[in-house]
Structure 1
Amino acid sequence: MTTVHTKPDVATRLMANRNFRLLWAGEATSKVGSAVTGVAFPLVAVVTLQAGTIAMGVINAMAWLPWLLLGLPAGAWIDRRSRRTTMLTADVVSIVALLSVPLAALAGVLTIAHLVAVAFVVGAASMFFSTAYQAFLPAVVTKKDLSEANAKLQGTDQVANLAGPGLGGLITQWAGAVIGLVVDVVTFAVSALCLSRTEVAETVERKQRDTTLRREIGEGLRFVFRDRYLRVLTLSAAVDNLTLNAMYALTVFFLIRTVGAEPGVVGFLFAADFVGGLIGAMVARRAGERFGTARTLLGFSIGCAPFGLLIPLTHDGLGLGFFVAGLLVPSIGMVVGNVMSTGFRQAYCPPGLLGRMYASSRFIQFGVNPLGAVLGGVLGAAVGVREALWIVLVAAMLGRFVRLIGPIKSHRDLPTEPPAHLRPATTEETS
């Protein structure tokens, strides 16, 4: 009798990978808390401290300003050190910063300035964590499993985010917005515990004695902007983030002050964003296999964007459905595009450059976020919140066509390695 041995499929391999399971569990738990905070934090400002649109824009801007101020040196710093240790440190910093808000509220000394400072510190910790996280994943799973791993992580993030806004809205309704931040503190602690139990052999570049931080930063920037694929993906993401942050700076204010929705309802409305993301994560890998990664990225990113124009049509009652659809469908396109582009970057970039590649890309992509947040607040104050949303969302739809510049539109699939002339000569060691 002949025994037939079959290779385990990608899902089985990932589930057998203890390090991936720990990373997955910690990230999913942390995402629940961050989603709660995503609702609770602006509600602390609007409901507890009576913040206006410009103050909301500044608070949102502070969460992204670290990418502009620290993003480039952070990438070089991450490539020199253990990504796991960097992520653990970021979790601890976030715990301390977020815990200061409910403590200040209990003491009766919470101010807008305090929220601005916390937004900056947590934003800086998130910058270090997310850059290290993207560079850490290729050490946890094999290159052939990256697409499925990213899809699972994105999908689980969306499930966590789906629960988080509703939970955040309920906590705000029942116990006050500041209590919602305590939930995030606990989830960051769980994330740190899971990370501390991983055992991963990381690849860290051994630096030459004559190298400098400036030179390392330059290597990352040159790699991104000389490469035709990375350059287009970076610029298109920057346009997306500029317009999306302008929108997010207005949406909580729009729903509460213009539409008249209750704080508890706001959380459930934002859950539509994550339902769309979950759907996108579920279909991303199969769509990429059937249509090609490049075609899937373009088709979903561009094709789903026009539905965002439903958001300014929102009004109370059944009219809240416009807001739900306007978040849900574009979210499908964004997550499918993110799965395609993230897997591409992780497979395409040499391991010793991953941190700097992500930091260089995100220096541009996220560096515009403070400008977008402030722009949204200023537009809302100048022309009205609903009118500002129309301007921002039309710009967001048109911005998706930036992806058609360059080589992506000419291929079925994105490449898995850069051309020889862009590959840096580096010496690596395992730590």
Structure 2
Amino acid sequence: MVTESPPETGAPTTPRRGGFARLWTATTFTALADGLYLMVLPLVALDLTQSPSLVSGIRVAQTLAGFAIGLIAGYLVDRYNRKRLTIHANVVRGACMLALAVAAGADGLTLPMLYAAAFLIGVAETITDTAEQALVPMVVDKERLGRANSRIYGAQTVLNDFVGAPLGAALLALSTAVALYTPAGLYLAACVVLLPLAGRFTAQHTEPLGSIWTGIGEGVRELRKDRDLFGLAVFQSGTQFVNMAFFAVFVVFAVGSSSAMGLSEFGYSLLITAAAAGAVTGSVCADRVIGRLPGRTVLLLMTGGLALCFGVPAASSQPLVVGAALAVSGFVTAVGGIFTMSFRQALVREEMLGRVTAGSRMLSLAARPLGALAGGAIAQLASPRVLFVFLALLMVAAVPLVWRITAALRSFPGSAP
């Protein structure tokens, strides 16, 4: 058996007891750090400029990083030690935030510094996200993948959507430096938690892994040739497209005295929290749901839940009714996402998991801006309600396609047949 890097001495080949606890703890630290920096960096930029386009450059830099490194990250994850990659990437994230904190303390922050940090953090985040997904089946038995992914997804949702934003605003009220030092410390703390993690974390290959472009091509072909994996990747990118089309315009429909719902900004934040609450509930229930229902049923429920989410605002502008629809959408999206992640981890060969995961992520990343642009264009030409009707009908029309894609969907250990 050929390996692309020397095997870890004395490393076990089966998941170790307690390994997932360390991985989960590290991901909670980084999830909270992500929630903080996503809130803090745009607000810090707003202190430097009042230009909306310049402030939005923070998110643009982060998104461009995902496109720039996406497929390369998959190759790195399949070639090198996944634990070390995660640690090194978190060191980069921590160092970027630390540098910004030092600059803030010296009153030397500039927009180019914020853009550079956002790009580097985005590169490191893409690597850690891919590596952590590939690490889960190395520390968890296949029968427990659904439960493990549920716990990770739930913690990330809570810390990103409920804790990170308000905590970031509170820290920023103390001082800009404190708001930047805190996520830096959390990223570095995640490294400390992962250091003692014992095990074999480099993928073993039956054949030598070729050059980076050859390896990337192999990963793309592996994803494309497997009907189930490719179908799920297309399904996931499609849901990303329609979700972005909806939420890119939903704020116009909901906020302002002249909007259909007439909500204040605070009222809108509560409405969005309903979707996050549904996602947290879905993450708690996902292991039981995907263990009892066939994969086809899970994805059809997700399709129906999204149709409900898009259709309800087209028919009603009552906050409680719309909030309930958003909660249902969050629930089914979480369950569907955890099913897809667990399915991929259980069935993809160890040496290909990083590249197949990266390929799936790239399809979703490409769908997001396209969805936002399409949603904005349709709403501009017609109205937000017309867009919502169109998206709801699109999901209803997708049911036969989802049925066809999932016709021979295999089960992974622990799921319903």
Distance 1:200 1:305 in 2: 44
Q: Which residue of 2 aligns with 1:293?
A: 295
Instruction: State the 1:101 CA deviation.
Output: 3.9
Distance 1:217 1:395 in 2: 34
Distance 1:388 1:396 in 2: 12
Cα pair distance change 1:165/1:67, threshold 3 Å: closer
Cα pair distance change 1:42/1:314, threshold 3 Å: farther
Aligned residue identity for 1:306: L
Instruction: State the 1:331 CA deviation.
Output: 1.4
Q: Which residue of 2 aligns with 1:8?
A: none
Q: Which residue of 2 aligns with 1:78?
A: 77
Give the TM-score of the pair, scaled to structure 2: 0.78
Identity of aligned residues (%): 25
Distance 2:65 2:230 in 1: 21
Distance 2:396 2:70 in 1: 24
Asked whether the 8 Å contact 2:49–2:55 carries over to 1, the reply is no
Q: Which residue of 2 aligns with 1:398?
A: 394
Q: Which residue of 1 aligns with 2:141?
A: 142
Q: Which residue of 2 aligns with 1:221?
A: 220
Aligned residue identity for 1:276: G
Aligned with residue 414 of structure 1, among 384, 403, 410: 410
Asked whether the 8 Å contact 2:33–2:182 carries over to 1, the reply is yes
Instruction: State the 1:91 CA deviation.
Output: 0.7
Structure 1 position 92 matched with structure 2 position 88: no
Secondary structure in 1 matching 2:366: coil
Aligned residue identity for 2:20: F
Q: Which residue of 1 aligns with 2:12?
A: none
Structure 1: stretches of 5+ with no match in the other structure:
1-14, 418-431
Cα pair distance change 1:61/1:326, threshold 3 Å: farther
Cα pair distance change 1:397/1:162, threshold 3 Å: farther
Asked whether the 8 Å contact 1:71–1:127 carries over to 2, the reply is yes
Instruction: Note the 1:295-374 alignment, pairs <5 A.
Output: 295-308=297-310, 324-325=323-324, 327-371=326-370
**Per-residue deviation, residues 28-77 of structure 1 (Å, max 9, x unmatched):** 2321232233333444445763342x446543333222332222222112
Q: Which residue of 2 aligns with 1:273?
A: 275
Cα pair distance change 1:296/1:213, threshold 3 Å: same
Q: Which residue of 1 aligns with 2:39?
A: 39
Give the TM-score of the pair, scaled to structure 1: 0.76
Instruction: State the 1:155 CA deviation.
Output: 2.2
Instruction: State the 1:27 CA deviation.
Output: 1.0
Instruction: Note the 1:59-208 alignment, pairs <5 A.
Output: 59-165=58-164, 167-168=166-167, 170-171=169-170, 174-175=173-174, 179-206=178-205
Q: Which residue of 1 aligns with 2:10?
A: none
Cα pair distance change 1:287/1:255, threshold 3 Å: same
**Per-residue deviation, residues 309-363 of structure 1 (Å, max 9, x unmatched):** 6679999xxx765774464332111110011111100111011110111112222
Instruction: State the 1:281 CA deviation.
Output: 1.1
Please give the root-mean-square deviation of Cα atoms over the aligned residues, in Å.
3.9
Q: Which residue of 2 aligns with 1:3?
A: none
Asked whether the 8 Å contact 1:151–1:284 carries over to 2, the reply is yes
Distance 1:355 1:42 in 2: 31
Structure 1 position 25 matched with structure 2 position 31: no
Aligned residue identity for 2:155: T
**Per-residue deviation, residues 376-400 of structure 1 (Å, max 9, x unmatched):** 89759x949x956974895487368
Q: Which residue of 2 aligns with 1:50?
A: 50
Q: Which is worse superposed, 73-82 or 105-114?
A: 105-114
Secondary structure in 2 matching 1:410: coil
Structure 2: stretches of 5+ with no match in the other structure:
1-14
